[in-house]
């Protein structure tokens, strides 16, 4: 007999962004807890709306599988006499379990050998298991921010108000935080019944549909997407997957409506209009065939329809008020020039120990000047934070930078200035676009480096989940830009330049900490580009400080291409051996090899080879031809192996030994210009990753 299990956890409205991860926790928790005693099932379905998380299992058996278990009796030494006959202790044990002494077996545990009886423990009914596991499963759902509402101080995202727990068509008796499970779910707040009876687990989705609830987020998404296309007519909705996900999880039954606003507002920059619609009202924007913003919007409502248009009118009115505010800010802000606003940044705190944004502006002008002496870049650096004093940015903080750029353009600054200001917060997230202009890219890097170095100097260092200034994101953006624009600044150069903006004496600790931090970000970047982890490590292990992210990428790609090469793979062994010898010698400074001290034929031959090889490797590296450099590196493998076969390095004569170590040092140093082969995992000649 196959059964269905329905669990619906009814809550007050859960924040949209938290629903999907919570449902995933719930599903995984239930699957894990049910699978533990060996239970199997056919299908698992999950459902969710803002007010409920639900899981439906089908094809469950009545009971958990039986388990074999050992009943432990007395030690063998006590259970049997010297002739091997059962003692009264053994007989008593057998009697207690209702078996004959011939059923007694023996087994070991950490204390010795014991008499046991093999028993079959019948599996418990699945409904009993469900009652047992659910409290733990509910409590295991992770939420970013929780509340309590009962005296027990149980913490959850919002109060739990009802629970439906059905085994086919029967309620499983269960209670959690004062809420008793039953078969009564809740309908849509506006268009459904307040209580709705779920007669049978499998009918859940259809019964709730009749109560004005679409429990499948996929179905709600399809309705919204189809509605967006249909209602847009000749216009095109601006694709916005994040907003789409949000509105999917904000409504229990969505419908799509189109509204409009007065074309007069189109005099405000499109960036502002879109931000007001998106962030404040969760509306989709529409553009015409030429990509121009249209004076209309699409809203997703929590109702089946807007029969008499009153919902649309309401939304239009709210948007109008918001746009009036925006228009007011747009006009008011432009009455004060950005260059005047720079002075006001003295009153805007960047960070307590790092001063105001005025101080930061000064550092940015100097830092960007070190990167590129273009006067337009310096001007952009001077103006880039001025928009923090505008009403518009105070109201719509997500427009920082963008507003500064727009105001600068209005004031007639050249594109090399205004666009740099406009773009200098990009990328805002991992998926955001990078600056498209060179000055924008440079200014963004400068701003990020100043923040990172400054925060590290002030003791604000990301650890675990704590990263209040978002330094990881800042650093990630910096290395992404450096790589994409193929800037040639080495990371050390960038850190040094940023450090020079601060008056600290002792800089070594900060410098090294920031470089180590940047190394993690570069590694992450290279892996994100699809490079295998060991390849990334092999490149980063040579030291990232003197390289640019673009160079590290090129080297990693070249390593990925050559890694299947037999000589290259085999080189790791010889390389490690050479490194060990150098380390063991305890001589940190190994001089250049002295040809006059070469004694044996093998080392003389090796010296000759290196005389030619080392300059060729160096020349390839200088040409940035890492493929050629790696080919050369792979080619040196037989010579190194022969050297090790023919010549004993660690001889007693110190001067001879030093000379041989010096030969190895030349090889190792040349290889490390590109890669540390000891980090490469040998794949047995397979394809590289």
Partner 1 sequence: MATFQDLVHQLLGFWKDYGCVIQQPYDVEVGAGTMHPETFFRVLGPRPYQVAYVQPSRRPADGRYAENPNRVYRHHQLQVILKPAPEDVQDVYLDSLRSIGIVLRSADLRFEEDNWESPTLGAWGIGWQVLLNGLEITQFTYFQQAGGRDLDPISAEITYGLERIAAFVTGKDNVFDLLWSPTVTYGTVRRREEREFSRYNFELADTPLLFQLFDLYERESNRCLEAECVLPAYDYCLKCSHTFNLLDSRGAISVTQRVALINRVRSLAVDIASAYVKQS
Q: For the CB of residue 300, give the shortest distance to partner 1 in the complex, in Å.
A: 9
Q: For the CB of residue 250, give the shortest distance to partner 1 in the complex, in Å.
A: 6
Give the nearer residue to partner 1 in terms of CB position, either 119 or 281: 281
Give the binding range for partner 1 (CB under 8 A) out of 100-108, 152-160, 561-569, 666-674.
152-160
Give the nearer residue to partner 1 in terms of CB position, either 247 or 403: 247
Of 21, 32, 36, 148, which lies in the binding site for partner 1, with binding defined by CB under 8 A?
Answer: 148
Give the nearer residue to partner 1 in terms of CB position, either 16 or 133: 16
Q: For the CB of residue 103, give the shortest distance to partner 1 in the complex, in Å.
A: 57
Long-range contact list for 564-569, CB < 8 A, 24+ apart? 564/683, 564/685, 564/686, 564/687, 564/688, 565/634, 566/685, 567/634, 567/635, 567/637, 567/638, 568/630, 568/633, 568/634, 568/637, 568/677, 568/680, 569/680, 569/682, 569/685
Give the nearer residue to partner 1 in terms of CB position, either 328 or 504: 328
Q: For the CB of residue 397, give the shortest distance to partner 1 in the complex, in Å.
A: 15
Q: Taking CB under 8 A as the criterion, which residues in 346-385 touch partner 1? A: 347-349, 352, 356
Q: How far apart are CA 503 and CA 362, in angstroms?
A: 13
Q: For the CB of residue 554, give the shortest distance to partner 1 in the complex, in Å.
A: 44
Of 142, 161, 486, 576, which lies in the binding site for partner 1, with binding defined by CB under 8 A?
Answer: 161
Give the binding range for partner 1 (CB under 8 A) out of 31-39, 117-125, 144-152, 461-469.
144-152
Q: How far apart are CA 391 and CA 341, in angstroms?
A: 12
Of 35, 190, 516, 682, which lies in the binding site for partner 1, with binding defined by CB under 8 A?
Answer: 190
Q: For the CB of residue 395, give the shortest distance to partner 1 in the complex, in Å.
A: 12
Give the nearer residue to partner 1 in terms of CB position, either 320 or 616: 320
Give the binding range for partner 1 (CB under 8 A) out of 155-163, 362-370, 372-380, 632-640.
155-163
Q: For the CB of residue 349, give the shortest distance to partner 1 in the complex, in Å.
A: 4
367: nearest Cα among 503, 513, 499: 499
Q: For the CB of residue 305, give the shortest distance to partner 1 in the complex, in Å.
A: 8
Give the nearer residue to partner 1 in terms of CB position, either 15 or 416: 15
Give the nearer residue to partner 1 in terms of CB position, either 145 or 335: 145
Q: For the CB of residue 310, give the shortest distance to partner 1 in the complex, in Å.
A: 6
**How is residue 512 written in tokens?**
């090294």
Does position 567 interact with partner 1 (CB under 8 A)? The reply is: no
Tell me the β-bridge partners of 237: 286
Q: Cα angle at 229 between 211 and 310, to 5 degrees?
A: 55
Omega before 427 cis (within 30°)? yes
Of 102, 111, 145, 468, which lies in the binding site for partner 1, with binding defined by CB under 8 A?
Answer: 145
Give the nearer residue to partner 1 in terms of CB position, either 181 or 442: 181
Cα 252 to Cα 6, 211, 220, 222: the distances in Å are: 19, 10, 8, 14
| Number of CB atoms found within 10 A of residue 374's CB | 17
Cα 495 to the center of its chain, rounded Å: 25
Give the nearer residue to partner 1 in terms of CB position, either 13 or 372: 13
**How is residue 184 written in tokens?**
């009564």
Q: For the CB of residue 256, give the shortest distance to partner 1 in the complex, in Å.
A: 11
Give the nearer residue to partner 1 in terms of CB position, either 1 or 307: 307
H/E/C letters for each residue in 241-304?
Answer: HHHHHHHHCCCCCCEEEEEECCHHHHHCCHHHHHHHHHHHHCCEEEECCCCCEEEEEEEEECCC
Q: For the CB of residue 245, give the shortest distance to partner 1 in the complex, in Å.
A: 14
Q: For the CB of residue 351, give the shortest distance to partner 1 in the complex, in Å.
A: 11
Q: For the CB of residue 622, give the shortest distance to partner 1 in the complex, in Å.
A: 50
DSSP 3-state assignment of 544?
coil
Q: How far apart are CA 112 and CA 106, in angstroms?
A: 10
Rounded CA Rg of the chain: 35
Of 185, 232, 275, 303, which lies in the binding site for partner 1, with binding defined by CB under 8 A?
Answer: 303
Cα 496 to Cα 84, 499, 540: the distances in Å are: 83, 5, 20
Q: For the CB of residue 312, give the shortest distance to partner 1 in the complex, in Å.
A: 8
Q: For the CB of residue 183, give the shortest distance to partner 1 in the complex, in Å.
A: 18
In the block, residue with structure tokens 């930078």? 401
**How is residue 358 written in tokens?**
């005025």
Q: For the CB of residue 410, give the shortest distance to partner 1 in the complex, in Å.
A: 24
DSSP 3-state assignment of 345?
helix
Residues sharing a CB contact under 8 Å with residue 27, sequence separation 6 or more, in sequence order? 44, 46, 55
Q: How far apart are CA 682 and CA 39, in angstroms?
A: 41
Of 72, 149, 358, 517, which lies in the binding site for partner 1, with binding defined by CB under 8 A?
Answer: 149
**How is residue 126 written in tokens?**
């699945």
Of 134, 165, 301, 364, which lies in the binding site for partner 1, with binding defined by CB under 8 A?
Answer: 301
| Number of CB atoms found within 10 A of residue 122's CB | 10
Cα 628 to Cα 94, 555, 559, 608: the distances in Å are: 79, 11, 11, 20
CB burial class (10 A; 0-12, 13-18, 19+) of residue 345? buried
Q: For the CB of residue 567, give the shortest distance to partner 1 in the complex, in Å.
A: 60
Give the nearer residue to partner 1 in terms of CB position, either 42 or 264: 264
Does position 12 interact with partner 1 (CB under 8 A)? The reply is: yes
DSSP 3-state assignment of 125?
strand
Give the nearer residue to partner 1 in terms of CB position, either 12 or 436: 12
| Number of CB atoms found within 10 A of residue 26's CB | 21
In the block, residue with structure tokens 């390849």? 535
Q: Is the dihedral of CA 452, 453, 454, 460 positive or negative?
A: positive
Concatenate the DSSP letters of all residues of 93-153 into one string.
Answer: HHHHHT--GGG-EEEEETTEEEEEEEEEEPPPBHHHHHHHHHHHHHHT---SS-EE-STT-
Of 48, 49, 232, 302, which lies in the binding site for partner 1, with binding defined by CB under 8 A?
Answer: 302
Q: Looking at the chain, how many residues does it have?
A: 689
Give the nearer residue to partner 1 in terms of CB position, either 99 or 318: 318
Q: How far apart are CA 599 and CA 656, in angstroms?
A: 8
Give the nearer residue to partner 1 in terms of CB position, either 251 or 390: 251
Q: Taking CB under 8 A as the criterion, which residues in 215-254 touch partner 1? A: 250-251
CB 549 within 8 A of CB 491: yes
Give the nearer residue to partner 1 in terms of CB position, either 299 or 495: 299
Give the nearer residue to partner 1 in terms of CB position, either 121 or 321: 321
Tell me the site size for partner 1, rule CB under 8 A. Answer: 47
Does position 279 interact with partner 1 (CB under 8 A)? The reply is: no
Q: Taking CB under 8 A as the criterion, which residues in 305-344 touch partner 1? A: 306-308, 310-311, 313-315, 317-321, 324-325, 328
CB 486 within 8 A of CB 550: yes
Does position 50 interact with partner 1 (CB under 8 A)? The reply is: yes
Does position 447 interact with partner 1 (CB under 8 A)? The reply is: no
Give the binding range for partner 1 (CB under 8 A) out of 156-164, 476-484, 558-566, 679-687.
156-164
Contact residues: partner 1, CB under 8 A = 12-13, 15-16, 50, 145-149, 151, 153, 158-159, 161, 189-191, 194, 250-251, 281, 299, 301-303, 306-308, 310-311, 313-315, 317-321, 324-325, 328, 347-349, 352, 356
């Amino acid at each position: 007999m196959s059964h269905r299990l329905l669990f619906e956890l009814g809550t007050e409205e859960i924040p949209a962004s938290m629903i999907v991860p919570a449902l995933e926790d719930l599903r995984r928790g239930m699957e894990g807890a049910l699978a533990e005693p060996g239970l199997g099932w056919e299908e698992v379905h999950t459902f969710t709306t803002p007010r409920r998380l639900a899981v439906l299992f089908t094809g469950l058996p009545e009971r958990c599988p039986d388990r074999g278990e050992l009943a432990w009796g007395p030690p063998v030494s006590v259970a049997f006499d010297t002739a091997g006959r059962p003692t009264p202790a053994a007989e008593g044990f057998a009697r207690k379990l209702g078996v004959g002494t011939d059923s007694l077996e023996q087994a070991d545990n950490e204390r010795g050998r014991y008499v046991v009886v093999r028993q079959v423990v019948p599996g418990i009914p699945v409904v009993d298991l469900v009652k047992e596991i659910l409290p733990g499963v509910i409590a295991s759902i992770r939420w970013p921010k929780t509340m309590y509402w009962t005296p027990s101080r149980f913490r959850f995202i919002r109060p739990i108000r009802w629970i439906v727990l059905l085994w086919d068509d029967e309620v499983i008796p269960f209670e959690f935080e004062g809420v008793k499970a039953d078969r009564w779910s809740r309908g849509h707040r506006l268009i459904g019944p307040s209580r709705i009876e779920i007669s049978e687990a499998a009918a859940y989705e259809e019964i709730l549909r009749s109560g004005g609830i679409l429990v499948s987020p996929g179905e709600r998404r399809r309705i919204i997407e189809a509605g967006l296309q249909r209602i847009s007519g000749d216009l095109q909705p601006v694709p916005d997957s994040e907003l789409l996900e949000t509105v999917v999880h904000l409504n229990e039954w969505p419908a799509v409506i189109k509204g409009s606003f007065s074309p007069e507002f189109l005099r405000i920059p499109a960036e502002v209009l879109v931000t007001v619609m998106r962030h404040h009202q969760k509306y989709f924007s529409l553009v015409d065939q030429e990509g121009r913003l249209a004076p209309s919007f699409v809203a997703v409502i929590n109702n089946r329809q807007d029969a008499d248009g009153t919902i649309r009118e309401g939304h239009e009115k709210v948007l109008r008020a918001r746009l009036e505010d925006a228009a007011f800010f747009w006009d008011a802000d432009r009455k004060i020039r950005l260059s005047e606003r720079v002075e006001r940044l003295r009153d805007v705190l960047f960070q307590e120990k790092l001063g105001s944004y005025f101080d930061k502006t000064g550092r940015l002008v100097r830092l960007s000047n070190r990167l590129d002496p273009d006067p337009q870049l310096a001007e952009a650096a001077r103006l880039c934070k001025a928009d923090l004093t505008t009403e518009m940015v105070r109201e719509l903080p997500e427009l920082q930078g963008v507003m500064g750029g727009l105001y600068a353009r209005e004031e007639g600054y050249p594109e090399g200035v205004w666009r740099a200001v406009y773009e200098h917060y990009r990328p805002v997230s991992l998926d955001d676009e990078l600056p498209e202009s060179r000055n924008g890219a440079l200014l963004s890097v400068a701003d990020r480096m100043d923040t990172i170095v400054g925060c590290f100097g002030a003791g604000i260092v990301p650890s675990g989940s704590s990263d209040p200034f978002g330094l990881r994101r800042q650093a990630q953006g910096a290395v992404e830009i450096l790589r994409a624009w193929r800037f040639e600044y080495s990371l050390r150069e960038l850190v040094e330049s940023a450090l020079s903006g601060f008056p600290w004496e002792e800089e070594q600790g900060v410098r090294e900490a920031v470089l180590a931090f940047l190394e993690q970000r570069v590694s992450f970047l290279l892996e994100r580009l699809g490079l295998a982890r060991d390849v990334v490590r092999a490149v980063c292990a040579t030291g990232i400080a003197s390289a640019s992210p673009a160079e590290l990428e090129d080297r990693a790609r070249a390593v990925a291409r050559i890694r299947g090469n037999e000589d290259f793979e085999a080189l790791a062994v010889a390389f490690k051996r050479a490194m060990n010898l150098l380390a063991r010698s305890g001589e940190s400074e190994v001089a250049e090899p002295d040809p006059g001290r070469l004694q044996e034929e093998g080392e003389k031959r090796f010296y000759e080879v290196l005389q030619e090889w080392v300059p060729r490797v160096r020349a390839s590296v200088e040409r940035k031809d890492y493929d050629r450099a790696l080919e050369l590196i792979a080619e040196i493998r037989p010579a190194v192996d022969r050297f090790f076969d023919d010549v004993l390095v660690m001889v007693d004569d110190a001067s001879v030994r030093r000379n041989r170590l010096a030969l190895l040092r030349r090889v190792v140093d040349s290889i490390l210009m590109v890669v540390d082969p000891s980090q490469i995992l040998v794949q047995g000649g397979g394809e590289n990753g």
